[in-house]
């Protein structure tokens, strides 16, 4: 089931004065339960609110949603789930060094190759401090929130195709490089 960006734009815009609040709530919910891609919502934010406000809504909403998911996993996560993650991915999240966890969360937020819920769950159940999780997520979410919001703005408002293709190229480079870095670091940490 795909999400039509025009329908989403019309829906959020139909709330008039409250449209930014609705968008913020949707960004928060998307970070907890990603039923549609962040890029679609961020592009919609760019279309409706411009680059600055759209970026802030995307970034702050994603941070709030990630924080809520982190605390829910921390409160209700049990050793059963920790063992499940360990058996499924072959890695004990609880033995990760704090500085490595901080940099890892930044990397996997900057290069979105790992689903957001897995990042939140892994950090919460792995014993990462909330402060470290929050700041690494805040830093790591900046590039994608900015790129996706700007992409929406350039594709649907300015019709500047050269700029839009530059943004799309930057996103593709982020994904390819990110996948390589995450894969390389995962293999390195598993062989230690």
pLDDT digits (tens, 9 = 90+) for 94-117: 666 667 888 889 888 888 778 888
CB atoms within 10 A of CB 53: 15
- Indicate the number of domains in the chain: 1
d(CA 186, CA 91): 9
Angle between helices 38-76 and 19-32 (to 10 degrees): 60
Please spell the DSSP secondary structure of 131-192, one letter per residue. Answer: HHHHHHHHHHHHHHHHHHHHHHHIIIII--HHHHHHHHHHHHHHHHHHHHHHHHHHHHHHH-
Please spell the DSSP secondary structure of 62-118, one letter per residue. Answer: HHHHHHHHHHHHHHH--HHHHHHHHHHHS--GGG--HHHHHHHHHHHHHS--S-HHH
What integer pLDDT is reported at residue 95 of this predicted model? Answer: 63
What integer pLDDT is reported at residue 1 of this predicted model? Answer: 44
What integer pLDDT is reported at residue 108 of this predicted model? Answer: 86
Per-residue pLDDT of the chain (192 residues; tens, 9 = 90+): 466 788 899 999 999 999 999 999 999 999 998 888 888 899 999 999 998 999 999 999 999 999 999 999 888 876 667 777 677 766 666 666 667 888 889 888 888 778 888 888 888 888 889 999 999 999 999 998 998 898 777 776 555 667 667 777 777 787 777 777 766 665 555 455
User: pTM of the entire structure?
Assistant: 0.77
CB 129 within 8 A of CB 192: no
What integer pLDDT is reported at residue 22 of this predicted model? Answer: 98
Which domain, by its residues, includes 108? 5-191
């Amino acid at each position: 089931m795909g999400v039509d960006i025009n329908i989403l734009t019309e829906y959020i815009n139909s709330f008039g004065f409250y449209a930014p609040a609705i968008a913020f709530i949707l960004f928060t919910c998307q970070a907890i339960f990603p039923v549609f891609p962040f890029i679609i919502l961020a592009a919609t934010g760019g279309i409706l609110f411009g680059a600055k406000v759209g970026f802030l809504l995307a970034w702050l909403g994603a941070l709030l949603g990630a924080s809520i998911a982190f605390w829910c996993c921390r409160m209700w996560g049990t050793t059963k789930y920790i063992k499940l993650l360990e058996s499924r991915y072959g890695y004990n999240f609880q033995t990760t060094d704090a500085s490595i966890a901080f940099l890892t969360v930044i990397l996997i937020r900057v290069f979105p190759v790992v689903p957001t819920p897995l990042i939140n769950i892994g950090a919460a159940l792995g014993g990462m401090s909330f402060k470290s999780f929050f700041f690494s997520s805040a830093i790591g979410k900046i590039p994608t929130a900015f790129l996706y919001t700007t992409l929406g703005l350039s594709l649907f408002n300015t019709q500047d195709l050269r700029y839009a293709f530059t943004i799309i190229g930057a996103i593709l480079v982020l994904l390819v490089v990110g996948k390589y870095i995450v894969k390389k670091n995962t293999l390195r940490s598993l062989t230690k």
